[in-house]
Structure 1
Amino acid sequence: MNPDVIALVRKINASAEFNRWCGFEVVSAVPGAVELAMQWRKEAGQYSGFLHAGVVGALIDTACGFAAATVAGPRLLAAHFSVNCLRPALGERFVARARVVKPGKQQVFTACELSAVENGAEKLVATGETLLTVLAGEAPPER
């Protein structure tokens, strides 16, 4: 693991209130790939007791954005993302593994698989793809 890459991704993650609220944890980061995890939280569940699809999408979008940031820098904006929910997201922990499919100067294409971990066993619960736009200029103002 490259310490500079994981430090960058962890810094980005720590700067997002939503990520902190969800408990997103950067497990690993190398150029072009990131692993993000989240412990089950009742507050992130939906009415049937599964991880809410909005949080499933957020995990995939965030992991893809972080993977893109490892090759394009932190100034990115999702232009499009899609999620395929394959089964109910039920587990003690959720792990999103994202990778860069095609980097570019203006756009970065990424893909992600999200697994639920229950009793040590992983099951694929969702997949997704994201197209990110690389933003130029200075960082946005603090809010």
Structure 2
Amino acid sequence: MTAVADPIATLEMINRSAAFNRWAGFELIAAEPGKISLRMPWKAEVGQYSGFLHAGLIGAMIDTACGFAAAGLVGRVMASHFSVNCLSPAVGSAFVAEARVVRAGRRQIFTSAELFALQDDGQRKLVATGETILMVAEAPAAETGLPARP
């Protein structure tokens, strides 16, 4: 397991470099090794037919927040499994996913997250929870000098 020298700068760089995260409007609002808060504003493109946040975006926020929590602690990771529990319709002016590392082993990192809908009156409503199992990922061949895998 590799410690991350500057987890906040690393996570901000990763977030800016991901086209999907830029499209969705994901914003890092708090970070420390093993813990993260990620915000996304509401926009019509992320809604489903009833006007709620689409479950795909709920999953994306939970997956991304869990991945960032793990990456801030151990470096490059990839999800091997994640699950999402939708607790109530996700309606709000913005959404915040808060994730933390539950346990970091040499090969697997277990994380959990909660997703909150922010209301216009400043209240937060818990709308989903999730858990992710991530694997420590190898650096790409360009970074290691080794040939790429077929």
TM-score normalised per structure 1: 0.92
Which residue of structure 2 aligns with residue 55 of structure 1? 57
Q: Distance in 2 between matches of 1:133 and 1:4?
A: 20
Q: How far has the Cα of 1:46 moved from its partner? A: 0.3
Q: Does the aligned pair in 1 maintain the 2:7–2:73 contact within 8 Å?
A: no
Q: Distance in 2 between matches of 1:71 and 1:5?
A: 7
Max radius of gyration: which structure?
2
The amino acid across from 1:11 in the alignment is M
Which residue of structure 1 aligns with residue 35 of structure 2? 33
Mapping for residues 63-142 of structure 1, pairs under 5 Å: 63-73=65-75, 75-119=76-120, 120-138=122-140
Q: Secondary structure at the match of 2:56?
A: helix
Q: How far has the Cα of 1:4 moved from its partner? A: 2.4
Deviating runs (4+, > 4 A) in structure 1?
A: none
Q: Distance in 2 between matches of 1:7 and 1:36?
A: 14
Q: Is the alpha carbon distance of 1:8 and 1:137 closer, same or farther for their aligned partners in structure 2, counting shifts above 3 Å?
A: closer
Q: How many residues align?
A: 138
Q: Distance in 2 between matches of 1:110 and 1:18?
A: 21
**Which structure 1 residue ranges, 5 or more long, are not aligned?**
none
**Which structure 2 residue ranges, 5 or more long, are not aligned?**
143-147
Which residue of structure 2 aligns with residue 22 of structure 1? 24
| Identity across the alignment (%) | 59
Q: How far has the Cα of 1:5 moved from its partner? A: 1.8
Q: Distance in 1 between matches of 2:72 and 2:22?
A: 20
The amino acid across from 1:100 in the alignment is V
Q: Is the alpha carbon distance of 1:103 and 1:92 closer, same or farther for their aligned partners in structure 2, counting shifts above 3 Å?
A: same
Q: Secondary structure at the match of 2:9?
A: helix
Root mean square deviation of aligned Cα: 1.5
| Residue 13 of structure 1 pairs with residue 4 of structure 2 | no
Q: Distance in 2 between matches of 1:94 and 1:18?
A: 16
Q: Distance in 2 between matches of 1:18 and 1:42?
A: 16
TM-score normalised per structure 2: 0.88
The amino acid across from 2:139 in the alignment is G
